[in-house]
Structure 1
Amino acid sequence: MSSVAAQMMPTAKGSRAVRAFRGRRRLQATQRRPARTPVSPESIGGVLTNATKAAKRWYHRPPPAARSARLLFVSAHLLHLAAMGLIVLSGDWAWTLANSALLLTGALAVEFTPVQLKRPLSMAVFMTAALTNLFWLQVPTALAWFAPLFFLKLLVCHLVLEAPLERWRNHA
């Protein structure tokens, strides 16, 4: 065997390192895949479903229990934040607590605001949450979509009542 060919052949140590590297990459890929797969369709479906007129009619039905049902729905989503922060993000308490505080204070503010201010306030809280997650809380790039969709679903699509549609009349 020529000396050039001998130099190009991997040593036993080198081949083990290559196999270990490939195995680690495969393990990382399998660890990431289950975390993204069930969460993304639920988030996208949640945004679309909560934005429908049917969902608005149901969650904004007349009292007595409409407000508490909306706030209970939002509060139940704290489990999603806990799962994302503590399981997917490997115990990131800062991310979990910051997003939980943003969600609860934002939901309470939107819910107890006069109806004509709910939409602008929900958008302001949504933008605050999105910017907080993009600039101050560390999240892997592959999961940067989660918080904006999550807050869009709950604060903008769920808590804001649909405006009635009116046709323009000619007053000529």
Structure 2
Amino acid sequence: MTLTDRLIAPGATRSEAALCYSSAALGAATAGVLARDESALVIVVVALVGFDLFGGAVVNATAAAKRWFHRPGRGTRHHLAFVAVHVQPFLLALVVPGFGWVAAAAVYTIMLAAAVAVTSAPPHLRTPVAFAAAVFGVVITTAVLTVPAFLLWFGPVLLIKLLLAHLLPAAGAVDNPV
């Protein structure tokens, strides 16, 4: 398995790979620049989180990733596990002053609850449920929670990556309920 197979998905086209790697690099640069007034450790961690989330949002939207993550035998428990391993809110709480544990727990809980709502919805309602969860999650993570201004992108991009890009199968496809 190649690096691209592991980071994007088996069968990713050159165009998909170029777009994914470019988005990840630009996301890392954007996140790092936004955190420029912070310590070196914070800048590095925020840039790495930016690489993962910006790149991952694009990766999860590719046809190759849709085929890979929604292939036969991959169902609800796999999708929820994928969401659950996204512990970046707690990494940020550990490293970034002003990104507290309450905010981290709230973002993580919103993310998991939204993922459960999406995967529990009937197939014909998963897309609108995912969008409803994402828009309300964006409001909570940007207007209700207190996080440093340079991380206001974090909650929305995390929700886009997981709810809209990862959990939704390709248009016209039906996800596996397993």
Q: TM-score, normalised by structure 2?
A: 0.70
Residue deviations 1:48-69, cap 9 Å, x none?
Answer: 0000111111111223x43221
Corresponding residue for 1:103? Answer: 111
Distance 1:143 1:123 in 2: 22
Corresponding residue for 2:63? Answer: 53
Corresponding residue for 1:35? Answer: 45
User: Secondary structure of the residue that 1:160 maps to in structure 2?
Assistant: coil
Distance 2:105 2:95 in 1: 14
The residue type equivalent to 2:79 in the other structure is: R
Corresponding residue for 2:92? Answer: 84
Is structure 2 residue 132 aligned with structure 1 residue 133? no
Distance 1:124 1:72 in 2: 21
Corresponding residue for 2:157? Answer: 149
1:47: how far off?
Answer: 0.4
1:74: how far off?
Answer: 0.6
The residue type equivalent to 1:121 in the other structure is: V
| Aligned-pair identity (%) | 32
1:155: how far off?
Answer: 0.6
Aligned in 2, Cα 1:89/1:57: closer, same or farther, shift over 3 Å? farther
Distance 2:65 2:54 in 1: 15
Distance 1:36 1:54 in 2: 27
1:128: how far off?
Answer: 1.1
Contact 2:98 / 2:148 at 8 angstroms: preserved in 1?
Answer: no
The residue type equivalent to 1:33 in the other structure is: I
Q: Which runs of 5+ in 1 are unaligned?
A: 1-25, 166-172
Contact 1:86 / 1:96 at 8 angstroms: preserved in 2?
Answer: no
Corresponding residue for 1:116? Answer: 124
The residue type equivalent to 2:69 in the other structure is: Y
The residue type equivalent to 1:58 in the other structure is: W
1:89: how far off?
Answer: 4.1
Is structure 2 residue 172 aligned with structure 1 residue 164? yes
Contact 1:47 / 1:152 at 8 angstroms: preserved in 2?
Answer: yes
Q: Which runs of 5+ in 2 are unaligned?
A: 1-35, 174-178
Contact 2:119 / 2:167 at 8 angstroms: preserved in 1?
Answer: yes
Distance 2:128 2:38 in 1: 41
Corresponding residue for 1:71? Answer: 80
Contact 1:85 / 1:91 at 8 angstroms: preserved in 2?
Answer: yes
Contact 2:100 / 2:147 at 8 angstroms: preserved in 1?
Answer: no
Contact 1:43 / 1:149 at 8 angstroms: preserved in 2?
Answer: yes
